[in-house]
Amino acid sequence: MPGPYRSTIRNDARKCLNGKFVALVLCALISVSDSGVALAKNARWCGQVFHTGPSGYAAISGKLIKRSDFGPPNFGEHPETDQKVVIWVVHLDFPIPVEVNRELKMAPKVVHVSDIQIGFSSKVDPILPKYRNRHVRVEGRFWTQVNWQDYTPVVIAGDTIRVAGKTDCHGKEVGAPI
C-alpha cells in the first residue's frame, strides 16, 4: 500500500490487537475504506436538536432490544429482593441531541442519547415482541425521564413502529429494511 496510509494502518493495528496480523488487516479495511465502514467509525448526528414535551414529535431509527433492569423497591441496591423490570429500548443509529425538561418548566438542557426507551403506555407496546432485535423506525413524542418506570433520560411514547433501513446523519432512511 503506497503513501501515508501505511504508517496510519500500522499505528491503528498496534492500537487494535497488539499488532497481530488479523488486526492489521481489519484496521487496514477500516482506515482505507470509503464504503461506509469509515463513516460508521466516525459517525455523528448532523440533523436538528430534538426536544421533549407535547410538541416533541419525532421519528427515531435503530435496533429494538428487550432489556431487564432492577425496579422497586430499591432499584438494584438489594438485588436479591428488587424486582426485575423488562423495558424496550431503541439503540439508535447515531447518538442524538435532545433538549430535555421543557415540559417540566425547568431550565432546558441538551443531552446526547444513544438509547431511548419506548414508554410503557405506548400504542405500539403490544406488538413490540414482533420487532425484537430488528432495525426499526419508531414515531412518537419525546418525554423527559420523570418517574421510576423511565430508565433512559429520554422516553418515546411510540405511536407507530415498522421495520426500517439504516439512516444517514440527518435521519433519512438510506438502506433497505434490515
Domains held by the chain: number: 2
Helices (H), the chain: 5-17, 21-32, 37-41
The torsion angles phi and psi of 114, rounded to 5 degrees, stand at -105, -25
69 is written with which cell numbers?
433492569
User: Residue holding cell 433492569?
Assistant: 69
Statement to judge: residues 91 and 136 lie in one domain: yes
How far apart (Å, rounded) are the C-alpha atoms in residues 62 and 164? 8
Question: Which CATH number characterizes residue 130's domain?
Answer: 2.40.50
Which of 62, 136, 132, 52 has its CA nearest to residue 99? 52
Statement to judge: residues 98 and 71 lie in one domain: yes
Domain of residue 21, residue span: 5-41
Please report the pLDDT score of residue 124 as a whole number: 82
The torsion angles phi and psi of 130, rounded to 5 degrees, stand at -65, -25
Q: Is residue 175 part of a domain?
A: no
Segment holding 70, helix H or strand E: strand 57-70
The torsion angles phi and psi of 61, rounded to 5 degrees, stand at -140, 135
Please report the pLDDT score of residue 163 as a whole number: 95
Please report the pLDDT score of residue 43 as a whole number: 62
Statement to judge: residues 76 and 140 lie in one domain: yes
Which of 166, 29, 54 has its CA nearest to residue 104? 54
Q: Is residue 171 part of a domain?
A: no
Please report the pLDDT score of residue 34 as a whole number: 27
Statement to judge: residues 32 and 78 lie in one domain: no
Statement to judge: residues 87 and 136 lie in one domain: yes
The overall pTM is greater than 0.85: no
Q: Is residue 59 part of a domain?
A: yes
How far apart (Å, rounded) are the C-alpha atoms in residues 33 and 40? 11
Statement to judge: residues 146 and 83 lie in one domain: yes
Which of 140, 139, 144 has its CA nearest to residue 102? 144
Q: Is residue 119 part of a domain?
A: yes
How far apart (Å, rounded) are the C-alpha atoms in residues 137 and 58? 10
User: Could you report the per-residue pLDDT of 8-37, keeping only the tens digit for each?
Assistant: 333 443 343 344 433 322 232 222 222 222
Statement to judge: residues 59 and 120 lie in one domain: yes
Q: Is residue 132 part of a domain?
A: yes
Q: Is residue 173 part of a domain?
A: no
Statement to judge: residues 78 and 145 lie in one domain: yes
Sites in the chain below the pLDDT cut of 50: 1-42
